[in-house]
Amino acid sequence: MKNNSNEHIIRPPKGLVDIDLPEIWRFRELLYVFAWRDIKVRYKQTFVGVAWAIFQPFITMVIFTVIFGRLAKVPSEGAPYPIFVYSGLLFWNYFSGALTAASDCLVANESIVKKVYFPRLLLPVSTAVTPLIDFAFAFLILVGMMIYYHFTPSLLGVVMIPVLLLISLVASSGLGLFLAAVNAKFRDVRYVLPFSIQILMYVTPVIYPVSIIPPKYQWLIFLNPMTGVINCARSLLLHTGAMDWTQFLISTAVGFGLLILGVTYFRKTERFFADIL
């Protein structure tokens, strides 16, 4: 019948709570269910549906090419502007999509958070999945463009793609977790975030290369975890210049730092979500 492993004590919260990985493993099916739900709902009753994942970055690239590439003549480090900007857009779209979804996940699921117990971490983690699918489709376009422009990526480049995606996931999840917890209490986040993401795009080398920034200020832009990602992608896939690994590591470290910050803050406030939502 019952044994001691079923015994479970509920106490008032004290101090920093660590991540209860065994518990998350126990609830892993729910994680799949949340992700599955988001995907299903996304594509139900849509006409464009899947195609949107391709249209949006493609059309954005076209517009940016005309305005920034042709008219404003922004340099593109040797590669044709369209593929230059698209490589940035690809990862940026993942980041902004995942960030937006993660920061809203608690409020969007308010009713279940208030009625059912499950480790709340499951929600923001599940929101990382749909943007991954969008990334996969958008990535196909990149492949198409590389073929069109006769680019062969280095082997390192191909290997690094999942790594870069992982860093984007880490950065967006970290910031997303933090914002999700803040959003539960301060609803401004939902309104401030879209604007902030727009601004953030301009401090990320999506439209322009890192090289147009004077070298002694470049470290500033590398504090943005996505800078490292995008710069590395361009360097290895489009051969736009030698990789500065130090800068890349700084960027990545900030990304992981955000993750730690996000998880800590989230876990600290998690117990009270049902009360403050």
Partner 1 sequence: MDKPIIEINGLSKKYQLGEREPYYSLRDEITRILKFKRPTKSREDFWALKDINLSIKQGEAIGIIGRNGAGKSTLLKVLSQITPPTTGTITMRGRVASLLEVGTGFHPELTGRENIFLNGAILGMGRKEIKRNFDSIVDFAEMGQFIDTPVKRYSSGMYVRLAFAVAAHLEPEILIVDEVLAVGDAAFQKKSLGKMEDIGKQGRTVIFVSHNMTSIQALCKKGVWLDKGRIVEIGDMSTLVANYIEHTVNNPNAHGGDNGPLVIKDVCLKNSAGHKTTDYRPGDDLTVEIHYNAREKVVYPSFWIAVTSHYGPMFMASMLYDGSTPTHLQGKGIITCTFPKMPLLPGLYGLQMGVRAQDISEDIVPTREIGLFNIIGDMKDAGFAGANADQMLGNSTKLVIPYQWSLPNGEPRRFQIRSRTIK
The footprint of partner 1 (CB under 8 A) covers: 1-2, 6-13, 29-30, 33, 37, 40-41, 44-45, 109, 111-118, 185-189, 192, 271-272, 274-276
**85: part of which helix (H) or strand (E)?**
helix 81-108
Nearer to partner 1, 189 or 233 (CB): 189
Nearer to partner 1, 185 or 239 (CB): 185
Nearer to partner 1, 23 or 140 (CB): 23
Cα–Cα distance between 250 and 258 in angstroms, integer? 12
Cα–Cα distance between 25 and 11 in angstroms, integer? 22
Whole-number minimum distance, CB 23 to partner 1, in Å?
Answer: 11
Q: On the CB side of 177, how many CA atoms lie within 13 Å of its CA?
A: 26
Question: How far lies 253's CA from each of 166, 189, 230, 256, in Å?
Answer: 13, 25, 15, 5
Whole-number minimum distance, CB 94 to partner 1, in Å?
Answer: 24
Whole-number minimum distance, CB 108 to partner 1, in Å?
Answer: 11
In Å, the largest CA–CA distance within the chain is 75
Whole-number minimum distance, CB 240 to partner 1, in Å?
Answer: 40
Nearer to partner 1, 195 or 217 (CB): 195
With a CB cutoff of 8 Å and minimum separation 6, the contacts of 155 are none
